[in-house]
Structure 1
Amino acid sequence: MTERLDFATLLRLIDERSAAFLRAVAAAPDVDVPVPSCPEWTLFDLVQHLGTGQRWWAAVVAAGPAEGPPAKDTAAAPREREALTAWYAESNELLMSALREVGPERGCWTWWSAGVSPANAWAVARRRVHEVLVHTYDAQLAAGAAEPMPSDIAIDGVAEFLDTCNSTPAAWPHEPAAVHYHATEGRSWLLALDGTGAWPAPLPPAAAPPSVSATGTAEELLLFVWGRRTPSDLEVQGDRRVFERLIAWEPEE
């Protein structure tokens, strides 16, 4: 694992980003405006998606170690804006309460347990920080303009995505590759892709030349790995096909 924010900081960030998310929802013309970064979604769809996720992960954390996740609540969120934002605030508090009650080391089911992120409440909190961070960006776009992300959170967001989403023992189906990510704020990461899987790590000073590298601000890199930017939005050197293959890859473990 490449980064470690403490649990209290993660809980604070979930609340702070959720507050920013709700401000964006309140600033939008209405909840039926399209979300440019989430094709075919309206702002209502975005709020429902994020709120349902907060409720589901609250149930996952509360259930503790399990072979599989609890069923998702499929009840629709209210469509009127004031009721919708109250519903999201309640959803967020359900997650926060569950996380506070169990503490960071409580084990639970996760979909990323085969990778380097731990299957516990700390990793759930970290994942939800960045889920809310990116969807706040989406909501701000729908409301008119996105605000700059806090760079320290975006830095952890790049590392978290690599740890959680690009970490697997499933064999990479192409020739081995090394991917470097360089944030202009001074942080860099390595993603190794080979027959043993995909494994992220901090970039060592004497690392071998990569197959491909991407350089940008931490926010730009975070939006890239989350699918809101393309390689053309970054400074890319090396074989761009590696990025194309990585984006298209759906590993089976």
Structure 2
Amino acid sequence: MTESFEYATLLQLIDERSAAFRSAVAAAPGVDAPVPSCPEWTVFDLVQHLGTGQRWWATIVTTGAAEAPPAKDPSVAPRELEALLAWFEESNELLLSALREAGPERECWTWWASGVSPANSRGVARRRVHELLVHTYDAQLAADAVQPMPTEVALDGVAEFLDTCNSTPVAWPHEPATIQYNATEGRSWRLALDGTGAWPVPVPADGAPASVAGTATAEELLLFVWGRRTVHDLKVDGNPEVFEQIIAWDPEA
């Protein structure tokens, strides 16, 4: 796993990003307001999605090592704003309590078990930080009040996405390639794609170019890999078709 924040810092970030998310939801025109970055979702749907996720991962962490995940809580969040915000705050605290009790090394089921990110509470905490980070952006967009992301958190978010979502032993179905993401803040990450799968690899010290490289701020890169930006929002060097291929690729198909 790419070096990340200390476990205690990850828990603090979950708490902070949760508060920012609730503030954005409260500032939205209403729970039925559309979320532009999540087509067909309302603010209510966004809160329901994220809160249900916090509750599910709390149960996963509490359960510990398992071959399959527990069932998700089928309950529906309340629609009245004050009750909805309280429900989400409770959802977030359930996750934080589970993570505090577990400590960083407790093994648990994760959907990324065959990748680079660890299948334990540390990996869960890091993933949830970035779920909160991006969905806070979604809620702020719905409220027409987007705030800059904390730079260090956005930088870690790009690395985490490669470690978790772009890390798989499923063979790359195209010509071998490399993708490099360059943040204007001075950090870079590289992804190798070949018959062994997709894996984050060190950026070569000799400056050898990747098949394609995208450059933007850390926030813009994070929003790109999460599907909130397009390749046209990046400065691209090399073969842009590789970006199109990885966006269209579904290793589970």
Instruction: Flag whether TM exceeds 0.5 (same fold).
Output: yes
Question: What amino acid does structure 2 have at the position aligned with 1:75?
Answer: S
CA–CA distance in 1 between the matches of 2:145 and 2:234?
Answer: 20
The two structures, once aligned, show a CA RMSD in angstroms of 0.9
Q: How does 1:1-253 map to 2 (within 5 A)?
A: 1-252=1-252
Give the SS at the match of 1:243.
Answer: helix
Unmatched 5+ residue regions in structure 2?
Answer: none
Unmatched 5+ residue regions in structure 1?
Answer: none
CA–CA distance in 2 between the matches of 1:181 and 1:60?
Answer: 32
TM-score for both structures, normalised by structure 1: 0.98
Q: Does the CA contact (< 8 Å) of 2:182 and 2:216 recur in 1?
A: yes
Give the SS at the match of 1:182.
Answer: strand
Q: Does the CA contact (< 8 Å) of 1:2 and 1:201 recur in 2?
A: no
CA–CA distance in 2 between the matches of 1:102 and 1:225?
Answer: 30
Question: What amino acid does structure 2 have at the position aligned with 1:244?
Answer: E
CA–CA distance in 2 between the matches of 1:130 and 1:143?
Answer: 20
CA–CA distance in 1 between the matches of 2:22 and 2:45?
Answer: 14
Give the SS at the match of 1:130.
Answer: helix
Following superposition, the deviation at residue 208 of structure 1 comes to 2.4
CA–CA distance in 1 between the matches of 2:205 and 2:215?
Answer: 16
Following superposition, the deviation at residue 168 of structure 1 comes to 0.5
Following superposition, the deviation at residue 3 of structure 1 comes to 2.2
Q: Does the CA contact (< 8 Å) of 2:183 and 2:221 recur in 1?
A: yes
TM-score for both structures, normalised by structure 2: 0.98
CA–CA distance in 2 between the matches of 1:244 and 1:135?
Answer: 24
Give the SS at the match of 1:181.
Answer: strand
CA–CA distance in 2 between the matches of 1:202 and 1:121?
Answer: 25
Q: Does the CA contact (< 8 Å) of 2:24 and 2:145 recur in 1?
A: no
Question: What amino acid does structure 2 have at the position aligned with 1:219?
Answer: E
CA–CA distance in 2 between the matches of 1:206 and 1:126?
Answer: 31
Give the SS at the match of 2:157.
Answer: helix
CA–CA distance in 2 between the matches of 1:201 and 1:145?
Answer: 36
CA–CA distance in 2 between the matches of 1:78 and 1:237?
Answer: 48
Following superposition, the deviation at residue 239 of structure 1 comes to 1.0
Following superposition, the deviation at residue 207 of structure 1 comes to 4.3
Q: Does the CA contact (< 8 Å) of 2:18 and 2:132 recur in 1?
A: yes
Give the SS at the match of 1:179.
Answer: strand
CA–CA distance in 1 between the matches of 2:23 and 2:195?
Answer: 45
Give the SS at the match of 1:124.
Answer: helix
Following superposition, the deviation at residue 238 of structure 1 comes to 1.1
Q: Percent identity?
A: 74
CA–CA distance in 2 between the matches of 1:189 and 1:144?
Answer: 31
- Counting matched residue pairs gives 253
